[in-house]
Each structure stands twice: as structure tokens, then as C-alpha cells.
Structure 1
Amino acid sequence: MKSHPASLLAEVRTFRQNHPDVRYVDLIALDIPGHFYGKRYPIEMLEKVAAGSPLKLPQNAVLLGAQGGLFKISDYCFNDGDPDANRRLVPGTLKPVSWESQPLGQMLITSDGTEAPIEFEPREVLAKVLERLHHKGIHPVVAFELEFYLFDKKLDNGLPQFARDPLSDDADDQPNLHIERLSRFSEVLDDMAQTAKDQGIDITVITAEIGPGQFEINFGHLDDGLRAADWAALFCRSTRGVALKHGYRASFMAKPYLQYPGSGMHVHVSLYDGAGNNLLAAHQQQPLRHAVAGCLELLPHCMPIFSPNHNAFRRLGGTVNAATRASWGFEDRDACVRIPESDPRNLRIEHRLASADANPYLVLAAILIGMEHGLEAKYEPIAPLNEDRSSGTDFPLDMLDAVRAMQHQAVLRDKLGAEFVDVYCENKRQDHLAFQQEINAREYRWFL
């Protein structure tokens, strides 16, 4: 929601009063691959922006590839003059940055809520989905869970090394899910949690996961989907910064080790009406079944969003709790769509397919339109895994196949926007082709 300049100005002035040593603020937004771009503003200029001065950045910054390259997508980038587009400050996101060597602030910016939003900006895509749902009397409540790995700060010939145990200086060798790992790495984990809270993020449960140096952090449930996705994006940024400060490297890469589980982005979603009634629980939970059916129908067409790069497809199958088919089940972590045990008030789906490095705005948008589509179509889902362990429908396991499945899907083009779908698919296609333009050492060993 767009904020009045008076309240933004008050936010900036309060920040300056509380943090007089901060001279610059990073104004940041998430691009299509899920990286932050933006500008570093003197705090005095930020006050002018908050008071109503224009804030403009190149429109095509949103289109950058994973390595920052520009791709020819329609007339964008090369035949459009690379125009600027208006951005606005996101209220409530001006926070101190504690992981840099010098005092600094950061604040989210976005094109949604401006006079001419960028159709393919991830936050704008989610904003339109949420606005449509609100007009239908549907109010999502959302919570993200993110898995990540800690590595040693130094790479070994470009390859990650296990995080060193602070007590023994050996590689992390704690058993799976062992609480002792939380104690061994408490200094960096506590700093990550506190830094996230300083950013306004509600951190709840911290878990030592199955892989060596792997952890999961859960966030609180929010009735503001945009803010929930903001939290996920900002958490990744702050966690990487805090890890480096402590001599580690934090990564949300989907599959850093072939022999260990990958890192996922799990999203809990429930839907309520204006009176606070859980829509999924009505009529003996029939709407829940419809929402599940809609998610499963669209899932094969949303794979470029859930698995946004070559490495993310490696996470699917072959290890614990990573499906290779679109499936669902009650209290079943092998399912893409899990229904956690809960009372009717808190009945929800847990969407488990997305990789941890996926774009949280787009992941949530894709999940919500799946649920919306299911509620409208009123399909019955396939059998849950609890009844049939072989139940499921295939989805693409390669980026080029995934892009073809996404680009011409009518529901996605209607509910996410045709322009976004075309831009996103071409961005992913070209990014994947660019990634392939290198011959690795194994090819020479096998085929020279």
C-alpha cells in the first residue's frame, strides 16, 4: 500500500535521529533472478525522496540475468532506449545494516503503487495477485520457511568447504537434526536471528537440518503477503552478510552437495474471508481439496519459478523430502503440497517444492493463483500419497522443457500477466543457454 509522504518523512527523520552515524542508505529491490539491485543514497537525499521528490531507476534493471547480463527480450534493453521507471519507498522497511564495516541503512523500493508499475517486476506481480484476491474477499495468511547451508568462508579451488565447528575447528560432523549443532554455531545463528529481528522480521523456530552445516529458519505468519515475501528476501541478504562477518559463507543455493539434501523454500498459506473465517475449512474442507487440485494442475507449468536455475533442478528427487512428481498428502513431507495437522482455524497448505534461491514474490504469486484457480474450477485432486504412494503427475525436470510448459499456459498468462510470463520465460531460457556456454573439466576427461 502506498504511504503518505508525511508518514514516510517521519520514518526517515526518526531513523536519522536514532542512527545519527548513518550517512548512506541502500535503496534496494529484487530482480527476476532474485538478486537485489538499487542505489546508495545520501541520507539527506532520502529525506527529499520521502517528501515527494521523484525516485527513478532503469526499468530494465529488473531484467538482468543471474550474472547481471542483459538479454534481448522483445524490445526491452536494446530497442527501447533503456528508460527510467518510477519507484517508491516501501514504508516500514528503513532499517540499519549491522553487518557492514561502516554504519549504513537500507530500504526497499518498488514500482508497485506508482502511476506506471513495471509489469514484470516480481513485487508488482505479487501485488496484483493479492489485490485481485482481496477484491474477491479472499485474504491469505502466509509464512515462509527457508533452508540454507553454512560453508567455510574460503573456497577450495572454487568448491565449497564444510563449515568449521567452532569448538573443534573440524568440519561440522554433528548428527542429522542434532540440537548440539545449534549450540556449536550459536554465535553466528544468534547474530543472524537478531539481525533479522532488527530488520523487522519475525524469526520463530531455528532447526539444524540434515546436511552438514545446514539450517532452517521459520518466520511468523502474516496477513500481508507482500510483507511476508519482503521478509524472505531481506532475510537472505542479512544472513549472507552476517555469515561473512563471522568467517562463514551462507548460501541458499538449491543443491550445493549431490550427496546431501538440497535447500528448500517452504510456504504455508491459509485463506480467510473478511470475517476471519478459514475458507479452506468450510463444507467439510472441500475448498481445501479444490485449492490443492488447482496447485497441482498449475505446478508443472510453474517450474521455472519454483526451480529458477540449472542447479535447482538437481534438488528434485534422489534425496529426502524432494519430490519428482506433483503430489499432495496429509502430514507427508514427500509431497509437493503437504497438509499439516491443525485445527480448522489454522488449516493450511504447505507448498514444499520451491528451492531456497527462488524469488519469494513469484513463488507466493504462483501458489496463490494455483489455489485461486482450484477454488474457481472446483476440481477434485488426485489421490493423496497417504492413500497411494505412486500418486502424482509429472512435471518438467529441465529448464528448457519447463519454459515451454510455462509460456503458453492460459491460466498463468491470465492471472500472472501475459507480459510477465513472456519476459520471465525468455529471461530464464537465455540465462540457461548462457550457463551452458562453457565446457567443464569432466567433458574433457570423458570426450577429449
Structure 2
Amino acid sequence: MKSQASKLLAEVRTFRQNHPDVRYVDLIALDIPGHFYGKRYPIEMLEKVAAGSPLKLPQNAVLLGAQGGLFKIGDYCFHDGDPDANRRLVPGTLKPVSWESQPLGQMLITSDGTEAPIEFEPREVLAKVLERLHHKGIHPVVAFELEFYLFDKKLDNGLPQFARDPLSGDADDQPNLHIERLSRFSEVLDDMAQTAKDQGIDITVITAELGPGQFEINFGHLDDGLRAADWAALFCRSTRGVALKHGYRASFMAKPYLQFPGSGMHVHVSLYDGAGNNVLAAHQQQPLRHAVAGCLELLPHCMPIFSPNHNAFRRLGGTVNAATRASWGFEDRDACVRIPDSDPRNLRIEHRLASADANPYLVLAAILVGLEHGLETKREPIAPLNEDRSSGTDFPVEMLDAVRTMQHQPVLRDKLGAEFIDVYCENKRQDHLAFQQEIHAREYRWFL
């Protein structure tokens, strides 16, 4: 503990030397819906926290709904006195914020690694899964890919408008994959990439996607699953900030346009043993098949994680590369679980079902639990799409049905934690019901 405090203190002092104009630092963590909450600390107080002073925030901040309100979930929120819970600073995440009007810093905080971690905190859920895998001698290597849309900064009666092409000034309303779009939007995209790198994120490939104003960013592979999920979370925050600075809105909303492809979160995962051997490639890739079977078995029960809101379910089916059933295949982007072509050393799965606005900590935790379950049960998967285009198993396509399917699944309750499952399902149920409590103009057009 003294060694960690010493390193944190050195990190804060180095930051202050390199950024003497920064007076405040945002201490931030991701809640259940995938939004950041936290506090803005004077830099002097941050140095005291790094040296060992307590850092406490309300425990129930993790339980916020999509719109920031609190729901009655068991004994939490309204019957527990709203207690504080300890948090700790995440080493290596203190970075400058360049998209605000005033000099600012930010740093991740978490309850994992404290004396009493919050069982339903997303980062803690993932940390427990990774710790269990490490004890079994399994070490994941992970890479995220995130799709997002650029919109015009101004809304039209609350609705998004196509991003303006900086070259012509016209709306970028033509869906295409042309690389020229990367050049036309290079100023904002380059700033997004550089800002992410300044946050310590390894940005690799940038792609113009099929939707108008839609792009994809790939991150480097990491042997630290927590850090990989940190990167995905921090990238969403910085990208939205940079977009506003350039006169755009950046959104990771799953399905902003019905007529165009939605935005997904693709996660590449390979597994290695303590000697560095690829676990999935052993014995003529039999463990790969077992891992795929486990993923597909649990996938229908994890839909509230992969599609965390009403809009995310709109993304499923009917457009390019969006699966409607739990399926797998080699080099097949129509599959939920794709096996990219690679040598045995880099053999991996690419999980393609999650929406871009899903919580990256929980998405990765659910994927890893599926892989773990498959390696334990050693079952054969259904036929890949390469052999049978109709292969696949159904999964829920509506939130309340998905929550019912998730809540009592014994493997998930065991491996993700029963307390987390109950809290998460009730959070999603209440969010969905709250969403239904507003009468849309369409209802008046249809029924008035």
C-alpha cells in the first residue's frame, strides 16, 4: 500500500509540474448505464488523496438511471441512508483534458481494490472475473473497436442533423465507405485520435463506416482487461468533447437512423496460459469451439448488457452485419461471434453483438464469462454460418423479456455475482418503464 501511494503521489506531482495551469481534476467512474459520475477536486486535495487521505463518494451513484435519477432497487437508494463508499485512484490515468475551455485534468476512480468494493460497480464486476481467470492460469488479451456517428452541433426540433462536410458545406448524407471521407473530416478525426493518445489510449485504425457521418476507431490489444475497458470508456468521453469543440456532436447511440446501420462495440479476445501459449489454439482448436459454445449458450441471457436500452434493440437485424440470432462463423460479419483469420498465436474471437453505448466493463465481463463457461463445460457449438446460413439460437429482442431471461440464469448469478445481477436487472427494468412514461407525438397522430 505504501508503495502504491508513493507511485500515485509521484504521478500527481509530475502532472502538476507538467501542467502548472491546471487547478482542478475531475475524478470520474462509470455507472451502470455507462455514464461518468464523480467530483471535481482541487489539485492540492488530489495530492492529499494520492498520499492516503480517504476518497469517498455516495455508493448509490453507481445505480443512477439513464437520465440520472435513482430508482428503488431492493434496500438501496431510499432505505439505506445513502451511504458513502470508498474509492481509490486508478494509477496511470491522470491526464490533461484538452477539450474544455479552461485547463483541467481527469483521473479514473474505482471501488475495486478497496476494503469493501461495491459489488455492482461495473469495474469491480470485471475485476472479479479477471481475477478468477488469472487464478485458473488464463490471461485474456483484449482489443475494443467502437463505431460512432458525427452529427451537426445544432439539433432540428430535438432531432439530429447530418454532419456538414467541411469541404463542401453540404450535409454528409450519403452512406458510403469511401476513404475520402476520412480526409474531408480529418481535422476533427485527427484531433479525436490525438486527444485519445494524450489520454494514454493506443489508437490504431480509423475507418469511414457505411452510415452518413459514421466512423470506427480501433484500439490496440492489451493484456490488461481492465485497462482495455478503461480505454473504451475514456475514448467515448473525450470524443464527445472534441466533437463539440469542432462544431459537431459525436454519439455512440446504437441506432440513430432507422434507415442506416447502427453503431456497435466489437471486442476481440484471445486467451493465453502462464507460458504465453494461446489456449484457444490447443488440440486442433478444440478449446476454441468449446469457448464459442459457451458464449452462444449465455448470449441470450446477457442481452440487457449487450443491448442496454430501448434504442439498442432497434439495432438488431434488418441492416448490415447486425445479427438477429446467436450465431458464429469464420470470417463472417453476420455472426455474433466471428473468428477472424489469423495464425495460431493470435487466434481469437470477435464478439460483435454489443451496441456502442453499452458499458465496456460489463460487456467484457459477460464475454469472458461465456468463454470461461465454455472451457469448463466442453460442449460442441452449433454449426457455424459458413456451413449453415440458418444456424443460430433465438435471443430476446425486447428489454423486459431480456431482463427476465437474465435474472435467474444460474451461471451468470454465480460468475458475475447474484447481487450485481439483481441490481442490474432492476435498474434496466426501471429505466425501460420510465422510458415508456412519456407520450410520443406519434401516439397522438395514430390515436387522437
- 1:325-375 C-alpha deviation (Å, 9 max, x unpaired): 000000000000000000000000000000000000000000000000000
1:3 to 1:428, Cα distance in 2 relative to 1, 3 A: farther
Tell me the CA shift for residue 92 of structure 1: 0.0
SS class of match (1:124): helix
Is there any run of 5+ residues in structure 2 with no aligned partner, and where? none
Tell me the CA shift for residue 295 of structure 1: 0.2
Work out whether residues 112 and 127 of structure 1, in 8 Å CA contact, stay in contact via their aligned partners in 2: yes
Work out whether residues 339 and 349 of structure 1, in 8 Å CA contact, stay in contact via their aligned partners in 2: yes
Between the aligned partners of 2:231 and 2:174, the Cα distance in structure 1 is 29
Between the aligned partners of 1:332 and 1:69, the Cα distance in structure 2 is 40
- 1:122-141 C-alpha deviation (Å, 9 max, x unpaired): 00000000000000000000
Tell me the CA shift for residue 167 of structure 1: 0.6
- 1:160-193 C-alpha deviation (Å, 9 max, x unpaired): 0000000110011455110000000000000000
The CA RMSD over aligned residues, in Å, is 0.9
Between the aligned partners of 1:153 and 1:92, the Cα distance in structure 2 is 33
Work out whether residues 278 and 347 of structure 2, in 8 Å CA contact, stay in contact via their aligned partners in 1: yes
Work out whether residues 175 and 211 of structure 2, in 8 Å CA contact, stay in contact via their aligned partners in 1: no
1:422 to 1:53, Cα distance in 2 relative to 1, 3 A: same
Between the aligned partners of 1:101 and 1:443, the Cα distance in structure 2 is 42
What residue is the counterpart of 2:413 in the other structure? 413
Deviates more, 1:3-12 or 1:281-290: 3-12
- 1:16-48 C-alpha deviation (Å, 9 max, x unpaired): 000000000000000000000000000000000
SS class of match (2:3): coil
Between the aligned partners of 1:13 and 1:177, the Cα distance in structure 2 is 45
What residue is the counterpart of 1:245 in the other structure? 245
- 1:279-338 C-alpha deviation (Å, 9 max, x unpaired): 000000000000000000000000000000000000000000000100000000000000
Work out whether residues 162 and 173 of structure 2, in 8 Å CA contact, stay in contact via their aligned partners in 1: no
SS class of match (1:417): helix
Between the aligned partners of 2:371 and 2:163, the Cα distance in structure 1 is 39
1:22 to 1:4, Cα distance in 2 relative to 1, 3 A: same
Between the aligned partners of 1:70 and 1:198, the Cα distance in structure 2 is 34
1:2 to 1:366, Cα distance in 2 relative to 1, 3 A: farther
- 1:190-240 C-alpha deviation (Å, 9 max, x unpaired): 000000000000000000000000000000000000000000000000000
Tell me the CA shift for residue 111 of structure 1: 0.1
Q: How does 1:116-155 map to 2 (within 5 A)?
A: 116-155=116-155
Is there any run of 5+ residues in structure 1 with no aligned partner, and where? none
- 1:54-87 C-alpha deviation (Å, 9 max, x unpaired): 0000000000000001100000000000000000
- 1:224-282 C-alpha deviation (Å, 9 max, x unpaired): 00000000000000000000000000000000000000000000000000110000000
Between the aligned partners of 1:61 and 1:321, the Cα distance in structure 2 is 35
What stretches of structure 1 move > 2 A for 4+ residues in a row?
none
- 1:401-424 C-alpha deviation (Å, 9 max, x unpaired): 000000000000000000000000
Tell me the CA shift for residue 2 of structure 1: 10
What residue is the counterpart of 1:18 in the other structure? 18
Between the aligned partners of 2:174 and 2:219, the Cα distance in structure 1 is 25
Between the aligned partners of 1:81 and 1:442, the Cα distance in structure 2 is 41
SS class of match (1:326): coil
Deviates more, 1:49-58 or 1:172-181: 172-181
Between the aligned partners of 2:68 and 2:440, the Cα distance in structure 1 is 21
SS class of match (1:394): coil
Work out whether residues 3 and 91 of structure 1, in 8 Å CA contact, stay in contact via their aligned partners in 2: no
SS class of match (1:404): helix
Work out whether residues 6 and 51 of structure 1, in 8 Å CA contact, stay in contact via their aligned partners in 2: yes
Work out whether residues 2 and 113 of structure 1, in 8 Å CA contact, stay in contact via their aligned partners in 2: no
1:2 to 1:362, Cα distance in 2 relative to 1, 3 A: farther
Work out whether residues 266 and 354 of structure 1, in 8 Å CA contact, stay in contact via their aligned partners in 2: yes
Between the aligned partners of 2:241 and 2:389, the Cα distance in structure 1 is 42
Between the aligned partners of 2:397 and 2:64, the Cα distance in structure 1 is 24
Between the aligned partners of 1:22 and 1:58, the Cα distance in structure 2 is 26
SS class of match (1:3): helix
1:269 to 1:3, Cα distance in 2 relative to 1, 3 A: farther
Tell me the CA shift for residue 386 of structure 1: 0.2
Between the aligned partners of 1:187 and 1:151, the Cα distance in structure 2 is 15
Q: How does 1:98-177 map to 2 (within 5 A)?
A: 98-173=98-173, 176-177=176-177
1:355 to 1:328, Cα distance in 2 relative to 1, 3 A: same
1:6 to 1:350, Cα distance in 2 relative to 1, 3 A: same
- Normalising to structure 1: TM-score of the pair? 0.99
Aligned pair 1:425/2:415, yes or no?
no
- 1:78-102 C-alpha deviation (Å, 9 max, x unpaired): 0000000000000000000000000
Tell me the CA shift for residue 3 of structure 1: 6.7
Between the aligned partners of 1:266 and 1:177, the Cα distance in structure 2 is 18
